Structure 1
Amino acid sequence: MFTANDFIPKKYSQTIEQGNFEWSAPSNIALVKYWGKKDNQIPANPSVSFTLNNCKTITKLAFAKKINTGNFSFNLLFEGKPKEDFKPKIHKFLERIEIYLPFLKDYHFTIDTVNTFPHSSGIASSASGMAALAMNMMSLEKALNPEMTEEYFYQKASLLARLGSGSACRSVKGQVVVWGNHKNISGSSDLFGVEFPNAIHDNFKNYQDTILLVDKGEKQVSSTVGHDLMHDHPFAERRFAQAHENLDKLITIFKNGNLEEFIKIVESEALTLHAMMMTSMPYFILIKPNTLEIINAIWKFRNDTKIPVCFTLDAGANVHVLYPNKDKPKVLQFIQDELVGYCQNRQYICDQIGNGAIEIE
């Protein structure tokens, strides 16, 4: 198990003047939610997520050695156009990770990034974006240090991604990823995400996630602000304990494939996340009326058909509809017949469990 100090390099064996790398990294959807954090992007409670496949960020990183090494130097393109309002977040990210990547001020970077889904609409675009950038940075470090092991590469990438956006550490590698120290999950860490190490029942293989785009606009309260409001939250400590308890329950559920119990945990976690928002001070509500209409329709459909479909939510209004692959035709028909009318411009995204970041040659 690596510690934070293990990721601070002593020296590099190679030099490189210029080049480029390109990676895609997916979003992820938490089943047990992380809400609230300590200093240095450390989570207040552990979380576990499904890695997605289609909702991803594709980032190309070009780099060239520069003479003046006193400052960070980078250009940022989002969907082919300069994006000045993203630059402060990237600059802060570079400041946080410089101790782990001491070469950062030696290069000028051009970061060219594109999403396959709407930015800032509750599909964790910061998670996929920061994960993709971290993978590129690690490719550059590996070029400087070719002896680096694969385990070190991915765990450090996850650590770097976390320093950009907490949940980004769950988008690096694995289908089911745990982030945060949990006593009954071997190798779990607050520093980086790890692949869930225990047995996973066939019921959860190729699990489906159809994302209903209720509101594609930017959230009125950012996740960063929401996390900060947990510091003085009256229910924070009980919530953190509940997350540990629910993760314990999921260990058993993943092993025995009990979809009924899975649904209870996942839907309860989604509602608890938003309950924390509604009971903070100041309080806020990110779900929309159509979010509630969809939830009620899912409950009725599940009760009528006994098909094990459920919902979860991230920090936004959009609804993730989760269901086994074998039920895909019936659930998609239900979505088209009854749910698309609640979506903005009738839009939704079909996704499923994926494997993490992929280098584009």
Structure 2
Amino acid sequence: MRKIINYQSKFLAWDKDVIILATQAGILAVVFSLMQVIFKPENDAAIFAMIGVFIAALVQTVGIRVNILNRVKASLILSIGAGFTTAIGCYVGNSFIATAIGILLLVPLVGLTSSAEHLSAAIILFTVDLFIIGSGAPSNSLHLAALNGCSLAIGSLSLAIIALIYARPFGQITPIVTKYKFSFKGVFINYQSNLVFSLILTIAVSIANAISYLFKMPQGFWIPMTALLILKADHDFTKSRMSHRLTGTLFGSLLAVLVALLISDKLILALMMLPIMFFIVISMARHYGAYTAILTVMVTVMMNLMIPDGYLIATHRLIDTLLGVITVAITLWILNPSIHKLLHKKQ
């Protein structure tokens, strides 16, 4: 009975920490949204800062069991890595060949480290993901590309700093569960067993990227990004992610269109980022489909802060998500049996 009570108290503590993190992320999202509205609506910098807050919140949610000092350390590494890949993605985004090379170099790291400790694997996943997102906002200017990367890093670091400042007076520096620690040691553990998955993942994301460039899809970076995020070494888990991604994006798109059509005031949209970011962090910790739905709304609101008719983003996202899911399904259907047969023959 005492053990059950201890476990329940730990889960309650995790829920409390997630709520605190979600609130902090929501407040920061509003701050950067207001900056976007007040200063330069046509500038991507504040948007990338919001994305930095969002990505840092996701990574900290994954690492919610570790103490705040380790989470800040993880956020620092994420900020540097993701800021760099974002800048590179923005700079080469207009070139299919350069983007394809970047994917071929970076995506295998996600596959090879998929067996690593959750927080380390999440940092690598989102760092690579930000290269793809950056390619969706191409800039031929190295200065603007660097500005976007730095803005994302600032957003990510801001959340870590606020979390650390809040934690100190409330005695949250010590970990909830002491056995969970963040470290990059053993990040390539069991990489041999992940070689097949890494190869399939790289091929799927590369094909998805080629589709986005070949058909010149608006916001086409969602296609390779979807492939990267839903394809897992566990095929049952991949099927579940595909289903949640599709249904979540469908319902989220419908809600996003309603929001975009009914609310045009940019100040109201900026203030809406507080509940949107709050619920997106909460849902990430609980249900992937709900997270995907709220993410669709968040993307639509963010784009409406820059351009009119941002509701079209919801439609583009739904189409791109569908194409990304189809790409993963076909890739698994064709390649997975063939690769396993080839490996079996070699043995």
Q: If the TM-score is normalised by the length of the shorter chain, which range does it land in? A: under 0.3
Query: Which structure's residues are more often strand, by fraction?
Result: 1
Query: Which structure's residues are more often helix, by fraction?
Result: 2
